[in-house]
Amino acid sequence: MNKKLMSIVLAACVAVSIAACSGEEEDTSPVVLSGGQAAEATVAEGDADAAPSDAENAAFSDGYVFTYNGTVITMNAPADDIIAALGDGYSYFEAPSCAYEGMDKVYTYNSIVVRSYTRDGVDYIAAVELKDDTVATAEGIRIGSTEEDVLAAYGEDGEEGTSGIEYTKGDSFISLIFESGRVVAITYTAIVG
């Protein structure tokens, strides 16, 4: 009886150890270790050849995409190739999160602002903000469009907030902010799961 008991206890201990140690390659890092300080810079030249294809972008997300100067920007897609493809003339800001848990990066172009987030050392598209009326969403909405235009383009089933309306699609949503019945800001945001 005692032998059995001892065997059971030891087997349980060993089983727990083995089970615990046999996990697949899960991430056990306590933090994403990317250091640095908040910084600003102006960057020139891009690499249009690096532009990911529409199909490549679609593989990353079933959400909204935005196209700027021929480059498709998909929420939650890896950022490096997209930033390279967007080309020259952006100003850059980065700030490490508390305890160096990732890095907020902001790329400001003439007509859009692209933000990225870091996960496991890789940058992904976090948000795209439209700055002026020279750019429009795939549905034809731009800054200055009316609230009626938005409802006609996106439908009535958006979620109304205190200053605008949001539409969710896949792992992203688009926010359209109104003032006096007209769109004053448009932002695509990744839903980070």
Partner 1 sequence: METGAKKFTYKTLVMAVSTVLGVAVTVLALWFLQKLLVPKYQRGVVEGSMIEEYYDSNEPHEVLFLGDCEVYENISTVTLYENYGISSYIRGSAQQLTWQSYYLLEDTLRYETPKVVVFNVLALKYGEPQSESYNRMTLDGMRWSSSKWNAIDASMTDGESMIDYVFPFLRYHSRWDELTRTDFEHVLDKDRVTINGYYMRADVMPEAEFPSPMPLSDYTLPQSAMDYLMRMYELCRENDIELVLIKAPTLYPYWYEQWDAQVRQFSYDYNVPYINYIYLRDIMGLDMSTDTYDAGLHLNIYGAEKFADYIGRYLTNSFELTDYRQIPEVAQQWEDDIVFYDALRDAQLAELQQYGELRSWGANAIES
Of 13 and 43, the one with the shorter C-beta distance to partner 1 is 13
**Long-range pairs for 126-129: beta carbons < 8 A, 24 or more residues apart:** 126/75, 126/189, 126/190, 126/192, 127/75, 127/187, 127/188, 127/189, 127/190, 128/66, 128/68, 128/73, 128/75, 128/187, 128/188, 129/185, 129/186, 129/187, 129/188
Stretch that binds partner 1, among 42-50, 63-71, 100-108, 149-157 (CB under 8 A): 100-108
153 binds partner 1 (CB under 8 A): no
181 binds partner 1 (CB under 8 A): no
Query: Running DSSP on this structure, what letter comes out for residue 97?
Result: P
Of 9 and 59, the one with the shorter C-beta distance to partner 1 is 9
Among 45, 53, 55, 193, binds partner 1 (CB under 8 A): 193
184: closest CA among 123, 142, 140?
142
User: Which chain residues interact with partner 1 by CB under 8 A?
Assistant: 2-3, 5-6, 9-10, 13-14, 16-17, 20-21, 23, 25-26, 28-33, 35-40, 93, 95-101, 106, 108, 113, 115, 127, 129, 161-166, 175-177, 184-185, 187, 193
